[in-house]
Structure 1
Amino acid sequence: MKRRPEDLVVFLGPSLPAAEARRIAPCTVLPPARQGDVWRALSLKPRALVLVDGVFEAQPSVWHHELLAALEAGVAVFGGGSMGALRASELSEHGVVGVGRIFGWYRDGVAVDDSEVALLHADAEHGWRPLTVPLVNVRHAAELALKARVLGRAGAKALVDAAAGVFYQERTWPRIREAVEPAWTRPVREAWDAWFSGGVEDLKRLDAIECVRTGAEFVSRAPPMQPGVRRNPSSLVRRRRLMEDVTRVGSRAVDSGRVMELLRGAPDAAAWAEAGLRRALLAGWARSLGLDATEEEIAAEEAAWWNERKVRASRREAFLAANGLDALELRRLCEARALERLALKHASRFLPDGPSWDEALASEARMGGQWEQAARALAEADDASDEGE
């Protein structure tokens, strides 16, 4: 199978330059993930997604539900280095694969919140260059200094505590050195300065490299994509995704929120919404009563839907994408259609003295005027018959 750069999608910023990630493996590098970005990235049809950097504080952070949606779609998700390490520790039991030392710290409770990986950095135009030092890098330096016998346990702890007391947007190595000075003796300060002058490893960078490599190795094995555990996100999550996702029309990505805005103003918007609500309500009602659509019934609905659309097999993937769908979401909608049909088929059993099929047909025909048309046609036929006699 030919590899596409989109097979491996990587969210990167200050932890690792995009060019370095691309040297590790062919990949599509996106900026630090914001809320909604993972949903949007799924439109690229990746096989694996690597989350390293993500925004926080100034903008909403990447949502757990987005990563769960990726897993459900059969996309492997790897997290490490920064925000990815935090999210991986929170979702590892659901299938997100954590990579690197920082992930281990979050998993084991050594690091507890996003302030551990927070740092001030330049913007995209300047390559997301780090401007301050994240606390995890200070922890790593303290461990290395302890191992090198530059610091004792008390001195290493003092270094981490001093760094933690400096606001992340001001946490530079000179500022950290100034903050820890009262806690260190002169020999300790001199030993640290001499050792530090040789350079200190950037743990976030090392973990980011490992995370990208892990994702690339997974893609290179080209395992078949398997849908993950099916989830039923809340209405809030579904509506948020509806507004924050993108729709792929050819090579162009159109914000789904813009599509919704246009649809709301359409003359038939109310009718479309009522039809969708009717189907959702009947399907939900059927589920609440213990009805399940079989695989055969769902497949039949899907086949009928494609037949109605009259779309060639070679164009179906693009057709789904242009309608904001994928195979998984189409299956959900066809399951709802199957449940709607089941609910209507068994309507007389759902309620005491429930409505029959004939009653439903008659009531709709009377409301729509078709009853009069049928009655008038029969009356005219009877008149013609009488005249013939």
Structure 2
Amino acid sequence: MNEVQKHLDLQRDLYIYTGPSLSRDITRELAPNATILPPAKRGDLALDSFEMLPKVIVLIDGELFQNLTVSPREIMKLLENGVTVIGAASIGAIRAVELRNLGMIGVGCVYEMYLSNEVIADDEVVMAMDPITSEPYSEPAVNFRFLIKEAINRGVFTQEMYERTIDELKKVYFSKRNLQILLAIVRELYGHDVSNQIEQLAHNFDYQIKSMDAKKAIEKGLNLFNQCSLKEVN
């Protein structure tokens, strides 16, 4: 086998499905030898969609409203055939909760939110995105949950205020959710002073929990892939 063929085989071994949660450019920096694919839709993870089954799949983003979403059955078949599947940040976190007892690995805060039933609705992780580049046009509710929890830690918000704000935010259609909408809700409920404190916090605190979870999942995927490769060499 020549070096080019070895590189192609390596690319087949680690698949990452990402989009608005973490850009392909950043993903490429983190995993330069992985096969990086756009958000998964129904059928993308079916066994017959692969020429060669990968060792590890990191499922981050998936299409939830544009097309039928990737199904649990597709992932179950991969797990049954020895593929390691990691989920985080978005549809990956949701599927990881559903399939955790069958071997799918969940990573990150968003996964924990769904596992604990703090978050139930799928639309809390959804972002409007460019159909070609997957660049996000809106912000997900789970990011704002993370931001407001930090506000609670700093004494700006109470738990009751958090719950009321999130209830109001969930009334906004997912594609319209952004920081300005959140600030308007806080301003309406609790006044300009509290809104200004949240705005300042948003500019000084990294609340992009989906992207942080995606990076953790990729790191986990790389570690597991390397372990598989070492076992094969030995």
1:41 is displaced (CA, Å) by 4.8
Aligned partner of 2:42 in structure 1 is 35
Amino acid at match of 2:100: S
Which of 113, 121, 133 is residue 113 of structure 1 equivalent to? 121
Distance 2:186 2:61 in 1: 28
Which of 99, 107, 113 is residue 107 of structure 2 equivalent to? 99
1:143 is displaced (CA, Å) by 0.9
Distance 1:196 1:77 in 2: 33
Is 1:150–1:191's contact at 8 Å kept on the other side of the alignment? yes
Q: How does 1:130-209 map to 2 (within 5 A)?
A: 130-209=136-215
1:145 is displaced (CA, Å) by 1.3
Distance 1:128 1:66 in 2: 23
Amino acid at match of 1:106: Y
Q: 1:175 to 1:186 in 2, by over 3 A?
A: closer
Amino acid at match of 1:37: D
Q: Give a deviation string over 1:120-160, Cα, whole Å, max 9, x none.
A: 11122xx3111111111111111111112222223322332
Amino acid at match of 1:33: A
Q: Point out which structure has higher relative CO (alpha carbons under 8 A, 6+ apart).
A: 2
The percent of aligned pairs where both chains have the same amino acid is 27
Aligned partner of 2:30 in structure 1 is 24
Distance 1:187 1:153 in 2: 18
Q: 1:22 to 1:196 in 2, by over 3 A?
A: closer
Is 2:138–2:178's contact at 8 Å kept on the other side of the alignment? yes
SS of equivalent residue, structure 2 residue 36: strand
1:68 aligns with 2:68: no
Q: How does 1:1-389 map to 2 (within 5 A)?
A: 4-25=10-31, 26-39=33-46, 40-124=48-132, 127-222=133-228
1:183 is displaced (CA, Å) by 1.3
Q: How many residues matched?
A: 222
Aligned partner of 1:320 in structure 2 is none
Amino acid at match of 2:117: G
TM-score (norm 1): 0.54
Is 1:142–1:157's contact at 8 Å kept on the other side of the alignment? no
Moved more, 21-30 or 193-202: 193-202
Is 2:187–2:194's contact at 8 Å kept on the other side of the alignment? no
Q: Give a deviation string over 1:20-61, Cα, whole Å, max 9, x none.
A: 222222210111000000125533321001110000123111
SS of equivalent residue, structure 2 residue 41: coil
1:100 is displaced (CA, Å) by 0.6
Stretches (4+) displaced over 3 A: none
Amino acid at match of 1:73: N
Distance 2:144 2:207 in 1: 10
Distance 1:34 1:135 in 2: 22
* Larger of the two Rg values belongs to structure: 1
- Provide the aligned C-alpha RMSD in A: 1.8
Distance 1:156 1:47 in 2: 41
Structure 2 gaps of 5+ residues are: 1-5
1:199 is displaced (CA, Å) by 5.0
1:102 is displaced (CA, Å) by 0.5
Q: Which is richer in helix?
A: 1
